[in-house]
Amino acid sequence: MLNYSSSLDRIFYALSDPTRRNIVEQLSKKKASVSELASPLNMSMAAVVQHIQILEESGLIKTQKVGRVRSCQVEPRSFKMMESWLSQRRKFWEKNLDQLDEYLNRLEKERK
C-alpha cells in the first residue's frame, strides 16, 4: 500500500472546513481570483486568504500571482490521490460486507 498518510491528512484537514469546500466547489467550475472567491463568502479578505493558503498547502489548489491579482485553480493530482485512497477503502469494505452477507445467509439457511 502506498504511503499517502501526510498528504491525505492535509487534504482531509483542508476539506474538513465548509468554507474551504465552498472554495473548492467554486474552483471546480472555473479558475478564479481571490477576490472573486471571497465575494460570496461573508468574511474578511484576510480570512479567505488563510483558507486559500491551507488549500494550497494541502495541494488541492494552486495559485499564481500576476501583477496584483492572485488567481486560483484546482490541482487535479491531489484529487486523484484522494480518489485512489477512497477507492481502496471502498473495495475493502465491499468485500468484507459481501462476506458478512454470505455468512449471514448461510446461518439463516442452517436455522431453517
C-alpha cell at 6: 501526510
Single-letter residue type at 91: K
Max mean pLDDT range (39-43, 60-64, 100-104):
60-64
- Output the average pLDDT for the chain: 90
pLDDT at 1: 42
Q: What is the pTM of this model?
A: 0.76
The 3-class secondary structure across 21-37, one letter per residue, is HHHHHHHHHCCEEHHHH
Chain-centroid distance, C-alpha 23: 11
4-111 belongs to which CATH class?
Answer: mainly alpha
Domain ranges in the chain?
4-111
